[in-house]
Amino acid sequence: MIKLIAGLGNPGPDYEHTRHNAGFWWVEEAARLLKVSLQMERGHFGLVARASVAGQSVWLVEPQTFMNLSGKSVASVARFFKIAPEEVLVVHDELDLPPGEVKLKKGGGHAGHNGLRDIHAQLGSSDYWRLRVGIGHPGNKNEVANWVLKKPSPDDRIAIAQALDRSLKALPNLITGEMDKATALIHTSKPPRPKPPRPVKLDQVAAEGGAPGEGTSPAADKG
């Protein structure tokens, strides 16, 4: 059962559309689906909303502390409402997954992600759930810092948006603690593959007047 969903990112218009803010994108869409509004709660160092699903309260959080101090906000809400680490879901960008993929997991290391690193420290535990939103890797570890703070390409942004939409279909299962169902739904929701080109049959080519270039010049084809 999930009682707190935290999306990670950096506050402000300069970062709004960058890869590092994929967690914010997910939580904002979750808030829209749950018909709640995120409001600044200075005591919890972030934007917070309360929703009710199947009679259960769930808190949505967007830390406004900048990524490296995300745990300050997450831990504040968790402590105040007596939410255990295993009842927390953190949605974050994931370098090790390509755009268009999302994976759910519980526990594990922070893999160098500074937002997760601080949540580990502030919660005093790594036993929380993570929803890893693929943003791809630049191919060079020295480029990672610049990569996450830049906007994705238009194609990557579309792939990420489609992945968010697919994973959000598991939102009710996540909240009610049906993690096996949520995992199956999220992990089997793959990006649609482009259809292969249809093979051209020889009799179809003949019926259309021959293969390209037969009996005509390239210039004639253009005109």
Strand pairing class (88-94; 129-134) = parallel
If DSSP codes are grouped into helix, strand and coil, which group holds residue 205?
helix
Cα(198)–Cα(196) distance, integer angstroms: 6
Alpha helix locations (H) across 64-222? 70-80, 114-123, 144-148, 154-168, 171-176, 179-187, 202-207, 218-222
Is the CB of residue 16 less than 8 Å from the CB of residue 6? no
Backbone angles phi, psi at 41, to 5 degrees: -120, 95
Spell out the residues 6+ positions from residue 124 whose beta carbon is closer than 8 angstroms to its own: none
Known catalytic membership, residue 20: yes
137 half-sphere exposure, CB direction, 13 A CA radius = 8
The amino acid occupying position 9 is: G
Which entry of 17, 20, 113, 187 is annotated as an active-site residue?
Answer: 20
Residue 53 CA, chain-centre distance (Å), reads 22
Residue 59's alpha-carbon distances to 81, 135, 208, in angstroms, are 9, 25, 63
Q: Which residues are catalytic?
A: 20
